Each structure stands twice: as C-alpha cells, then as structure tokens.
Structure 1
Amino acid sequence: MTDPTSATPCDLTVVIVDDHSIFRSGLRSELDPALHVLGEAATVDEAITVVVATQPRVVLLDVHLPGGTGGGGAEVIHAAAPLAPSTLFLALSVSDAADDVVTVIRAGARGYITKSASGAEVSDAARRVAGGDAVFSPRLAGFVLDAFGAVAGEIAATTDELDRLSAREQEVMRLIARGYAYKEVATALFISPKTVETHVSAVLRKLQLSSRHELTAWATARKLL
C-alpha cells in the first residue's frame, strides 16, 4: 500500500471540491494526468463525506461552498481534518479577499491560490503542498504574513497580561468573566466568598479594568472563556 504521506508526482491523490460542476470538470481535465482524482464534491457536507471516505493526499478546496452551517471551506477542514490526518488542504478560489484567505488558512489550509491559475500551476501547487510546502499566489502571501504577524502580537500581549496574575487569580478571572457569582466561584474553588472578592479586586487592578463587565469583555476579546 502506498504511504499517503510520501506522495510523489506519480501517486498523488486529490479530491476536487467546488460548487460549480463546470469548473470541477475543467480543472480535472487540465490537471497533470499523474494526479489521480479520487472524487469530487459540491457542498460542505459532500466534501466532508468524500474526503473522509477516500483519504486523499491533497484536497483542492473552494472557499465558498453551500451546505453545512455556512462555514464553507473552513468548515470542511475543521470537520474532515481530524478524520483524515494525512490529508492536506489547498484553497483554490476566485476570491482574493484578505478575510477569505486568512479564514481558511487559520482553519488549517496549507496554501491558497486563485482560480486564474492554470492546470499546470494547480498541479505544481498540489505537489508542493504534498511535499510539505506552503503555497500562495504572490499577492496573497502578504495577507497571510500581516494577519499572522498581528495574531502573534496579540498572543504575546495577552500572555504578558496573564503573567501579571497568579494561577489562582487566573482561575477566578475566568469564572467571573463567565458570569459566575462570588459564592459560585467560592464553591467551585473551595475558597471563601471574601477571598474571591479579594482576588477579583487584584485582577481588576492588575489588568487596569474597572468592573466585572469590562473583565468579561476583556476575556472574550482574547478568547479566554
């Protein structure tokens, strides 16, 4: 049996996901014959089923797809990737909008190219992704660098803020931000309500916040809940 993680130009398996049958047919006919198309899908639900059933090395994935809960290509990745651990996803879309690029890359796609690419270019991109590279159409790479540079900065800033709090203060902070009452926090952490109040005061002071409502907004914005 061929090891799906060691694909070569002669054994690379792919699935094409796009809601336009004419595009799927055209792309299939233009791909390098050495790329073996195991299946096609037109919706989020169909894509998840086909990817899990066939376990391709690379999925050529449109960003905007009908079905599912409306998450498009990103939803396909979130649902299928855990069940197809050797499969990689290459976004292939008419859209070159920064939001679309960032959303699907954050979901786990290993590259993003536009539909203006030729069959030969798509074939080459699929091989490169299978080989471990990240592949982007030239003008899209900047979106990814900018977005993930900003994310890295946000993570670093949040880490710095959390470092100001003790482990117990962080536990109290999360429960209070989720809407727990002081007595409920005290029960959950086996401490007194007075101790909870002391911790909350310390958290607000260290984070320079003025109320538990601001604390909830602060924690929500940093995805700490």
Structure 2
Amino acid sequence: MTVSVVIVDDHDVIRVGVRESLDDDIEVIGEARDVESAVAEIVAKAPQVVILDVHLPGGTGGGALDVLAEVLHRPGAPRVLALSVSDAAEDVVATVRAGARGYVTKSISGPDLSDAVRRVAGGDAVFSPRLAGFVLDAFGAAGGEVAAVDEDLDKLTEREQEVMRLIARGYTYREVGEKLFISIKTVETHVGKVLHKLQLSNRHELAHWAAQRRIV
C-alpha cells in the first residue's frame, strides 16, 4: 500500500535528499518551504503523512508548531513525523505536545526514515531511540501512568532487562558494555536473546516496544 507524503523543509537540498531516500511505496505528492506554503500544500493535497522540519521559519514564531496548530484540528488531518537536526529534549517534547506522531533526527538512514513514515501512517508513535526517553520522562511527569509489568517482560532476566533499557534509549553496544562492565560480545548475546524472547527483529522495534510500555 502506497503512503502519500508532503515534505516540509526550508532547505531545498534536504527536501531533495528526503524525497530520493524514501522507498518506492512512499509517494511524495507535495513539498513546501515555509509555514504559509506548508499549510496550503497540506490542505490541498491531503497527504497521509507530513514530514516536517521542526525549525521551519515563518508563521507567528512557532514555525513547525504553527503548521501543526493549523492542520491537525482539520477533519482527516494527516499524521506528522517531525524531522530535525536537533535532539534537544525541549524540541522533542514541544513538538510531540503540539501533536506530532513521531520525531526523528536528520541523521536517520533512508530505510529507517521510510520505515518511520510507514509506521506513523499506520498509527504508531515513532522516535529515534535516544529520544524516546525524553518523551517518556515528560509525559510521565505530566501524570501518565506507567504500564504494569507484563508477561513479555517477565521472560527477560534481570541483566537482559538492563541491556534492553539501555539499547531502547539509543546507547550503542560499546556504551552498554561500558556502563554494565561487560564485553561488546556479551552485549550482542544479550540483545539477541532479548529480540528472540520478545519476537522482535531489530533495535528500532525494541525501542518502540519499550516506549509503548513506558519502561525505558
């Protein structure tokens, strides 16, 4: 199934790069470079997903937040995937609070960006692994309830849970090893067991699994 997308970024080279990096099943039906043209393009084209630069110029000073305020209250509003060079907690939290369904950084690979677009179109919340903790911390502080420990989590040993949480937060295998005083090979072994027990394919699915349960 094809996913229709509008790309909103004030840099021409970024829009071209994003468009060319997306998989064939993602159709770019429009582009915009500022708030006014973004709102007009989104309303006219009605995409399923908007890939939105967080630091978009224009509007009343909110930039991307102005776009979100304009389009998300409309019937049939698209889902928004924020794309940014910033991994600052305040940018992530503000954008999610404004209604974005996901937030990834511009260092993301083409295949991962395509996967994020598909997942957002399907209703998932998607974040670069290192950013998920910001969202969990912010919304937990706002009164969100932490999910009860489930049967899947009980399948993991205490050490596997430690490794899982660090990997889900975006730490590399080397960083996990240094924090837990174990070898990279041992980290790889634990991650393999975690993915097998939880029936997941990769660390991005693991980050999403942990974020859904608010256990990162």
Query: Shorter-chain TM-score: what band?
Result: 0.5 to 0.7
CA distance in 2, matches of 1:85, 1:36: 18
Among 126, 136, 140, the alignment partner of 1:149 is 140
Query: For 2:135, what is the secondary structure of its paired residue?
Result: helix
Unaligned runs of 5+ in 2: 145-216
Q: Which residue of 2 aligns with 1:64?
A: 55
| Distance change >3 Å, CA 74–CA 36, structure 1 → 2 | same
Matched, 1:37 2:28: yes
- For residues 155-174 of structure 1, what are the structure 2 equivalents within 5 Å? none
In structure 2, give the amino acid aligned to 1:130: A
Matched, 1:48 2:50: no
Q: Which residue of 2 aligns with 1:91?
A: 82
Q: Which residue of 2 aligns with 1:123?
A: 114
Q: 1:15·1:60 contact (CA, 8 Å) conserved in 2? A: yes
Deviation, 1:73, is 1.3
Q: Which residue of 2 aligns with 1:134?
A: 125
Among 1, 6, 12, the alignment partner of 1:21 is 12
Query: For 1:109, what is the secondary structure of its paired residue?
Result: coil
**Residue identity (%):** 61
In structure 2, give the amino acid aligned to 1:151: A
Deviation, 1:149, is 1.1
TM-score with structure 1 length normalisation? 0.62
Deviation, 1:57, is 0.2
CA distance in 1, matches of 2:110, 2:130: 19
Deviation, 1:84, is 5.0
Residue correspondences, number: 144
Query: For 1:69, what is the secondary structure of its paired residue?
Result: coil
In structure 1, give the amino acid aligned to 2:122: G
Q: 1:51·1:84 contact (CA, 8 Å) conserved in 2? A: no
Q: Which residue of 1 aligns with 2:93?
A: 102
In structure 1, give the amino acid aligned to 2:28: V
CA offsets 1:137-195 (integer angstroms, 9 cap, x no match): 01100000111111227xxxxxxxxxxxxxxxxxxxxxxxxxxxxxxxxxxxxxxxxxx
Deviation, 1:85, is 2.4
| Distance change >3 Å, CA 84–CA 73, structure 1 → 2 | farther
Deviation, 1:86, is 3.8
Matched, 1:73 2:67: no
Q: 2:71·2:77 contact (CA, 8 Å) conserved in 1? A: no
In structure 1, give the amino acid aligned to 2:35: V
RMSD across aligned C-alpha pairs, in angstroms? 1.1
Q: Which residue of 2 aligns with 1:188?
A: none
CA offsets 1:35-60 (integer angstroms, 9 cap, x no match): 11011111111111111111100000
In structure 2, give the amino acid aligned to 1:54: K
| Distance change >3 Å, CA 96–CA 84, structure 1 → 2 | farther
CA distance in 2, matches of 1:147, 1:60: 23
CA distance in 2, matches of 1:135, 1:54: 23
In structure 1, give the amino acid aligned to 2:88: A
